[in-house]
Every structure is written in structure tokens, then in C-alpha cells.
A and B are shown apart, each in its own frame.
Chain A
Amino acid sequence: MKSAVRTSAECLFGVEDWHSAALHALGCTTFRGDVDEEQIADEAVSCYNCRYRRWLAEGISCLADPS
């Protein structure tokens, strides 16, 4: 799930890539919603709301096991 859109070795999306994060999560087989208090996107399914995303200063990385 990570290789196609990664912009750097670490960061999957920047902090304001709302549309891309939602679109990507819709096609992701490992998406799993985080607890409510950690969700920030209005779209229920978004990488920003996924429990496998990790926040970085510049955006999010993905910790999901691609296997």
C-alpha cells in the first residue's frame, strides 16, 4: 500500500493532503479506523484516521504490515 504514493522514504502524505489520504485509504486493504479521539479527518475512511498511520512533523507514515 505504501510504495505508489510515497513522497519520501518516511512520509506517506503531508499534513494537508486530505483528498489523497481519503482516496488512498479507500483502496487500502489494511485500513483500520483508529479510536475516535485520534481521528481528525471528516472522511471516516482516510489514512489520517487509520490506526496504522504514524504522525510525523511533516505528515504521516504508514506502519501497516504490507504482507
Chain B
Amino acid sequence: MNLLVCIDDTDNLESPGSGHLASQLVDIIEAKGWGLCSFVTRHQLLVHPDIPYTSHNSAMCFGVTLKAPHYLAELITRAGDFLAKVAASGSDPGLCVAFLEQVVDHQALMAFGQSAKKEVLNKAAAYALAKKLNIHLSEHGGTGQGVVGALAGAGLRLGGNDGRLKGQLHFETPGEVVSVAQLLEHSLVDRVSGLNGQRPQAGEQVELGEKIKTVMQGGESVLMIEPNPAGPVPWRTCSRKQLRDF
């Protein structure tokens, strides 16, 4: 019983970001014992004059392995109430909960996510698709415009090739050298990959940068590294700037 939970448009210029609220939802779900949650991913959507967004237009999504089907209704109600209560003044929060085994057409959900990176979409289209695919979609304040991004974010997460993981990975001190095998021991690293698709071997050495993040590729949390020609070892972790387009 696998869910995707995605929220969008919950913040204003002064409030905690949607990522913070997504992490709080993760804590609530796990504290209630409804299921186990996976990492939170950030998904960039189109920035366009016709789209109302605060400053960056990104959605936040996480997966849930639900322990029993009857928790689904409770989770949806609790998440909606939570957003209505904590979303920032002036925001237009939207909530998407996709019970993947019951979603009629995964490809259509993924296509909507891709469209939201390229086109201006509207609430009517989001609600129509959610209804058709049997996905929960609801608004919890303001104009409710966040339903568009919430549905799109779920589609992008389902596609598995979009977004950066929320938070940084902590290993040793910056400048430390570790092996690819050691990087793979981190609970949030599924794979280590060269930025241009190279496949480093387990024993190869990597110099750690200051801010280490993973990105979502192939449905996995992937730590991107790049050649390190001037460094003491062959590889180094990629910088934030290099990960901007994920």
C-alpha cells in the first residue's frame, strides 16, 4: 500500500517553506503509526507570469508505505487539517494523496507532472485529472491554486527522474576523502553516479564538498560526483550550483 503525498503553495516570504511542512507531515504520519515515510523531494515547476507563486514555484513530495488501508482516510483528513492550520497567510495550499495501487493511469499522472514544468495549467484541469485517475486532491485555504502543483509534484515523484532531496547529507568534515562504498553506506544514498553518467567503482575515492545533496534519478536517491582533476583523489561531490537543474 504505497502512497505519494505532495503539497504545494503553503508558504509566504516570511514563513517556513513547504519542505518544512512536508517533514512535519512525515513526523505526524509516523508518530500515528499509520505508515513509514520515505525522503522528501523538491520538484521545480514552471515559473511564468500567469502562474501565481511566491518565489520559486516548487512542490514537496514524499512516499508512504501504509500499514493498513483504513489509515488512508485518517491520513488525508489529518493532512488537510494540518495544512489549513499551519499554511502561511496569503498562501493557497493544495494537497495530493495518490494511493498508487488505485491510481488508474500512472503514465497520465507522470505526464501531468512533466506538463507543469513547461505549461501553465489550471485548477480545473488538475481536479479533472485527479478525479479520472482516482487520486485525492484538495485545497486548504486561499485560492487553492496549490492543487495544481501538488498533483504535478506527485507525478514528477512517480516518474522518478526529477527533483532534489530535501536536506543535506552529513558525513565527516568537508574536505574529507571517503570511498564510493562508504558513501553508499549512508541511508539516504541509493546510488553514486558521475554527473555525466559515469559509474564509479566501490573502491574509488571521493572528496567531500561542503553541502552534499542527492537528486532523484531512476527512482533512487543518487549522489552526484564529478571528476576532480586538481584534487587529491579522482572524484569530488557536486556543488549546489551543479545540482540546480535537477
Q: Do chains A and B interact in one complex?
A: yes
- A23-67 contacts to B, CB under 8 A, are 34-42, 51-57, 63
B48 within 8 Å of A (CB atoms): yes
**Given contacts A55-B55, A63-B55, are A18 and B241 in contact (CB under 8 A)?**
yes
- B39-78 contacts to A, CB under 8 A, are 42, 47-48, 54-58, 60
Bound complex: CA A55 to CA B244 (Å): 13
- Of B124-132, B163-171, B216-224, the one contacting chain A is B163-171
Chain B residues closer than 8 Å to A53, beta-carbon distance: 55
B240 within 8 Å of A (CB atoms): yes
- CB pair A41–B164 under 8 Å, yes or no, is no
- B91-121 contacts to A, CB under 8 A, are none
- CB pair B13–A38 under 8 Å, yes or no, is no
Report the minimum CB–CB distance from B116 to chain A (whole Å): 15
Q: Which of B54, B56, B168 has the most CB of A within 10 A?
A: B56
Chain B residues closer than 8 Å to A57, beta-carbon distance: 47-48
* Interface size band for B: 20 to 34
Report the minimum CB–CB distance from B222 to chain A (whole Å): 16
**Given contacts A56-B47, A57-B48, are A38 and B57 in contact (CB under 8 A)?**
no
Bound complex: CA A41 to CA B210 (Å): 12
Chain A residues closer than 8 Å to B211, beta-carbon distance: 42
B20 within 8 Å of A (CB atoms): yes
B16 within 8 Å of A (CB atoms): yes
Q: Which of A37, A39, A63 has the most CB of B within 10 A?
A: A37
**Could you tell me which B residues sit within 8 Å of A by CB distance?**
13-14, 16-17, 19-20, 42, 47-48, 54-58, 60, 164, 166-168, 210-211, 239-241, 243-244
Given contacts A37-B19, A42-B210, 20 further A-B contacts (CB under 8 A): A34-B17, A34-B55, A35-B16, A35-B20, A37-B17, A37-B42, A37-B166, A37-B167, A38-B42, A38-B56, A39-B240, A40-B244, A42-B211, A51-B13, A51-B14, A54-B54, A54-B55, A54-B56, A56-B47, A57-B47
